[in-house]
Amino acid sequence: MDLVRHLRFFVAVAEEGHFGDAAARLEMTQPPVSQGLRRLEKELGVQLIRRTSRGAELTDAGRDLLPRARLLIDDAARFLGEARRLHDGTEVLRWGAVPLAGAAAVAAVAQRLGEIASGQEMVSATTVSLVEQVSAGTLDLAIVDAPCVTGTLTTGPVVVFRRHVVVPAGHPVTTAARPRLRQLAGLDFCHPPRAANPPAHDQLIDRLRESGLDPHVLPVSSTEHLVAAVAGGRAFGLTADPDRFAALDAVRCLPIGRDATALRLRVVYRESALGEVADVATAALWKISKATG
């Protein structure tokens, strides 16, 4: 049994209190998480999670073992990170970014980091996952959406990006003289699952409601998923890269709800020595933010 992998299942379920939310956080389907947890419990000989009609609750044994599980996961991540550094023999900068950041922002940051680092490796993941990886030392820094829970990590300033609303080409809002967000009532809202970053997700929904729109959220995991849902005529979404949709006849990008739909990004890092690198990444974000309005 891969102990560390199964411990990650346990910690995710314990912290989320729900198998579905834990699976979304781990970017998996629910059955492998449930099966993995049962296998872990069988291996340990104790029940860790009590399955209820409301979700999942820690047993007494689970509550006692949860802190140790977190430590083992962090130690394993640090071990792998140090091993990779020794294998590479060079100071490769490892960083990550949320998919919401968009291609333009990621490219700008990669270009600037390439000027100051001998090498770099980039990963794309949810804010929750990126914060965990930076905290564990497997990533040097990450670009996450704000607000978010960062624990003891150092955070850079928030950089605000304007986003366009992606709507079906035939929707009435595309021909309205003064298009408003509330005109999208009845459409599902394509957005990453709440588990990707609960604070930012809840803040965005609150801003939409303040604009007169209270949509049903349709969780999506990629731009392709969003395009398919919107092109089908029953959903809308948000993008920081409207140019990517320009050639698609089935959808339109509209600059509406600027304040309500804005994307807020910030750089997080653990090592104080990386402060200057984080400043370079933040400066790249600022430059793109200004260039896109």
Residue spans of the domains in the chain: they are 3-84, 90-155+266-292, 163-261
* pTM tops 0.85, yes or no: no
In single-letter form, the type of residue at position 75 comes to D
Residues whose CB falls within 8 Å of the CB of residue 29, separated by 6 or more in sequence, listed in order: 23
3-state SS, residue 218: strand
pLDDT band at 147 (very low <50, low <70, confident <90, very high): very high
Tens of pLDDT, residue by residue over 166-186, are 999 999 999 999 999 999 999
Tell me whether domains 3-84 and 163-261 share a fold: no
| Nearest residue to 190 (alpha-carbon basis) of 179, 199, 180, 201 | 201
Q: Looking at the domain 163-261, which fold is it?
A: D-Maltodextrin-Binding Protein; domain 2 (3.40.190)
In this predicted model, what pLDDT tens digit does every residue of 90-135 receive, in sequence order? 568 899 999 999 999 999 999 999 988 878 999 999 999 999 999 9
* Main-chain phi, psi angles of 218, to 5 degrees: -105, 105
Tell me the C-alpha distance between 233 and 245, whole Å: 15
The CATH class of 90-155+266-292 is alpha beta
3-state secondary structure 116-129: CCCEEEEEECCHHH
- What pLDDT band is residue 85 in, cutting at 50, 70 and 90? low
- For 53, the enclosing helix (H) or strand (E) is none
How confident is the model at residue 27, as a pLDDT?
Answer: 79
Q: Torsions phi, psi of 60, nearest 5?
A: -60, -40
Cα dihedral 175, 178, 181, 187, rounded to 10, equals -20
If phi > 0 it is left, if psi is from -120 to 50 it is alpha, else beta; for residue 45 that is: left
pLDDT (0 to 100) of residue 24: 86
C-alpha 77/C-alpha 178 separation (Å) is: 51
CATH topology of domain 3-84: Arc Repressor Mutant, subunit A (1.10.10)
Q: Which amino acid is at 165?
A: V
The DSSP-derived string for 154-210 is EE---EEE--EEEEETTSGGGG-SS--GGGGTTSEEEE--GGG-HHHHHHHHHHHHH
At residue 151, the 3 state secondary structure works out as coil
Asked if 62 and 48 count as a contact pair (C-beta separation under 8 A), the reply is yes
Q: Which amino acid is at 89?
A: G
* pLDDT for the residue 111: 94
Query: Strands 141-145 and 263-269: what pairing?
Result: antiparallel
Coil, helix or strand for 88?
helix
pLDDT digits (tens, 9 = 90+) for 203-251: 999 999 999 999 999 999 888 999 999 999 999 999 999 998 989 999 9
Task: Tell which residue, 21, 152, 44, 36, has the closest CA to residue 12.
Answer: 21
Tens digit of pLDDT for each residue in 45-70? 999 999 888 889 999 999 999 999 98
pLDDT at 89 exceeding the cut of 60: no
